[in-house]
Amino acid sequence: MNLNPGQNPNPIKGFKLPKIVMIGSIIGLIGTILGLIGGGIGIYAAMNPQGVFNFLQKQNILNIGKMFPQELTNPEVLSQELVKTGKTAKAKIVALEDTGNTFNMMPVVKMTFEVEPGVQVVITQPIARVNLPSVGQYAEILYDPNDLTKAAIK
């Protein structure tokens, strides 16, 4: 190798990595850190399974079926039955209650409707945040006059 005076014998010095390689390295480092955190959580769970189980149960992660019955997660099941046997009414919302749960990032709201004087039905379902109703508003609903627990917003 012939070097001129002042020439650097190390061809890597002054070499800059392409930006995509730098970004990939940062993403890899983040993935490594998250993997170590996940591994730590896994080790803790293996050593203390009852504590993890209790935490998940308190957060309603393990009993989703109880939290969201089929009529709530699949309103078509209830609605198809009501279309055949139910009665349609324009009902006034007399009470609203946030259940504290969400479904597909929508709050699950318990709404009490007055179908006619003295007759109320309660409908609990997820409502998009931009469509949250107010007390005093009217909505068209389907309900079973023989079983007021079966009702759906039309």
Residues 72 and 137 placed together within one structural domain of the fold:
yes
Residue at 2 is within a domain: no
pLDDT in tens, 54-69: 665 555 554 444 444 4
Predicted TM-score of the model (pTM) = 0.50
- Whether residue 48 is found in the same domain as residue 25: yes
pLDDT > 90? residue 70: no
Q: Identify whether residues 116 and 148 lie together within a single domain.
A: yes
For residue 135, the enclosing domain spans: 67-153
Of 58, 84, 105, which residue sits at a domain end?
58
Reported as a single tens digit per residue, the pLDDT across 19-49 is 887 788 889 999 999 999 888 877 877 776 6
pLDDT the model gives residue 14: 61
φ, ψ of residue 39 in degrees (nearest 5): -65, -40
In a domain, 79, yes or no: yes
